[in-house]
Structure 1
Amino acid sequence: MNKAVDYSDLIGVPFKNRGRDIKSGVDCYGLVMEVHHRYGVELPEYTSDFDNMDKINSIFSGRIDSGSSWEKANFASLPVPCLIAIRFGSPPGVVNHAGCYIGNGKFIHIRENIGVCIDNINSPAWRKVIVGFYRYAGEKYDNAGHS
């Protein structure tokens, strides 16, 4: 999916819990959905309060079937876009935030008090809290509900 995508209209969009509209605000998954959409990939809806760490972590660890397939990506060859699972102030391995790798060592994410921003993935501060990288592999089920 090598395609030039402009993110300038996203910078500063405010955080809104369960937000899915870049005009009124997004949460971290709403931003991941928007970035994937710009690459022609429609992600399934997923809702969880931003502080529901158990549900978020369960999806990434495979304990909850979300109806979609996320595959772990290799850091040496990250696809664009690529979901980044992040933990803030939670035990190791617990995911409570997400961002999206956008290439050239950069990722886009949203902070509650800052809004949407772009940071360097190789920053020591970020490397300490990144749990994993995931590529969306599509729906697990066809239209009839069969896997």
Structure 2
Amino acid sequence: MAVIEQEHANDMSNPTAGAASDEPIVRPAVHRWLWYALGGGLPRRNRGWVLFDTTTGTWWARHVVRSLVQMAVPILAVMLVLPAGWGLRIAVAGGGVALGLVYSLAYMVEATENRVVKAGYPVGIAGAIREERWEAREEKDRARRRAAAAKRAARYRDRTGH
């Protein structure tokens, strides 16, 4: 939990997220998270957590986990009810998971944006926050590469006397 809060504190240090940073991150109880993973809404007190969940650095992995939870019910039904051998049941279940993940990944951005809108945020805020954080990481990486290049150039000048 402390890691999540620390990650949130680091992530919320940008202007776009500033509007949401005053909202507490209240993680939902297990039964509410299962409802959320299946597509249901959460109470207002979990609003800040929904934004965090859909904009943190691991938002895509969280989406995949939610998708797998959604697929668990039909896959379990196939495994238990299909009148066939276990090999065919496993093959059908595996094909279902693969196809489900393809569709889930294809609509990942839209699905996460829908969750944020359902929590009461304006359309597009999750994507804007993720984009801003990506740009900040890229700028930090560019600065690191420039500093490394300058350091290499200085070493080269010192070695060659130029």
Q: TM-score, normalised by structure 2?
A: 0.27
Query: Of Structure 1 and Structure 2, which has the larger fraction of its residues in helix?
Result: 2
Instruction: Return the structure number with greater relative CO, CA threshold 8 A, min gap 6.
Output: 1
When Rg is computed on C-alpha atoms for both structures, the one with the higher figure is 2
Structure with greater proportional strand content: 1
Q: TM-score, normalised by structure 1?
A: 0.29
